[in-house]
Amino acid sequence: MSNSSSITEFLLLPFADTRELQLLYFVLFLGIYLAALLGNSFILTAVACNHHLHTPMYFFLLNLALLDLGCISTTVPKAMANSLWDTSAISYAGCAAQVFLFPFLMSAEYFLLTVMSYDRYIAICKPLHYGTLLGSRACAQMAASAWGSGFLNAVLHTANTFSLPFCQGNALDQFFCEIPQILKLSCSDSYLREIWVLMVAICFASGCFVFILFSYVQIFSAVLRMPSEQGRHKAFSMCLPHLFVVSLFLSTGFFAYLKPLSLSSPTLNLVVAGLYSVVPPTFNPLIYSMRNKELKSLAQGLLL
């Protein structure tokens, strides 16, 4: 019977059994990763170099792009390397790094999206107080709180996960090291203390969801009371990118963790994990660039 001290590496779930399909998946993920890298790098460069974009909304968008880059860089490069070299192994330290970084970046992104909903609420419902309530110091503190909350959440989960004894081998049913899959390797009933940490995280996530929902109820109420159709259209344009990103983030994440157990299978786990770990970081820059006039004009200028 093995335990955590005797495990030196974990075995990840390969995308395919044949060499040809492995190389095909490598090319596919390389294209996705490059798209995410270019899109988020464009957001970072545009916001950092254009002084017209030095506003609270773009400051939070810059942080979102950083988190998206971190999320996809935590999982996809290792998966591509395994597909290219026809291996499934990941070191114990590398697995621990993924277990820490992915929840850290994902939960920080969720907290940041909550902060961004507050930014949109102030911009639409209290525009005269926007500069006062969202000064540079307040924005920095809110962004730091999002990063810090994600860090603490990841530390708790990682410490609890790797303090458990592993008695079920070292093979994971996932293409990256994920806490639910690692818990399946733990000894019977030894994962119960992780459930308490998970419950705390669920409470915080539910609070963020309620806050986002409340913010948009107030926003839509304020927009519908606007007498000018042009004003309503402008207000909706300001909110739609963030609303799309939140919807994409929540829909992929909730389906991954709330899908019925009867639907669980190695293939479905791979597809679902690809959705919530790859799709948001890749499509978030596209959503903001398409719906935002400033970013859209900058992108068109680069293309021309």
- Domain coordinates in residue numbering, the chain: 9-303
Would the pTM of this model clear 0.75, i.e. be above it? yes
Residues 6+ apart with CB under 8 A from 181: 172, 173, 174, 269
Report in angstroms the alpha-carbon separations of 92 from 4, 7, 273: 9, 7, 21
Residue 2's pLDDT is: 46
Q: How many CB atoms are located within 10 Å of the residue 116 CB?
A: 25
**How far, in Å, CA of 202 to CA of 127, rounded?**
32
Cα atoms in the 13 Å half-sphere on the side-chain side of 133: 15
Q: Looking at this protein, which amino acid is placed at residue 96? A: A
Mean pLDDT by 10 residues, the chain (304 residues): 65 84 90 94 89 89 95 93 89 94 93 94 90 92 96 90 82 86 76 68 85 93 85 81 86 62 62 80 84 65 54
- Superfamily (CATH) of domain 9-303: Rhodopsin 7-helix transmembrane proteins (1.20.1070.10)
Cα 92-66-146 angle, rounded to 5 deg: 85
DSSP 3: -
Residue 301's pLDDT is: 57
Residues 6+ apart with CB under 8 A from 237: 291
**How far, in Å, CA of 72 to CA of 283, rounded?**
12
Determine the distance from the C-alpha atom of residue 141 to the mean position of all C-alpha atoms in its chain, rounded to a whole number. Answer: 20
User: Where do the DSSP E strands lie in 67-190?
Assistant: 89-91
Report in angstroms the alpha-carbon separations of 55 from 121, 140, 270: 15, 12, 39
CB 95 within 8 A of CB 41: no
Tokens standing for residue 273: 């994990």
Please, is 222 exposed, middle or buried when counting C-beta atoms within 10 Å of its C-beta (0-12, 13-18, 19+)? middle
Residue 261's pLDDT is: 46
Tokens standing for residue 72: 């996809």
Residue 109's pLDDT is: 94
Q: What is the pLDDT of residues 127-169, one digit of tens each?
A: 888 888 999 999 999 999 999 999 998 998 898 888 888 887 8
Residue 298's pLDDT is: 64
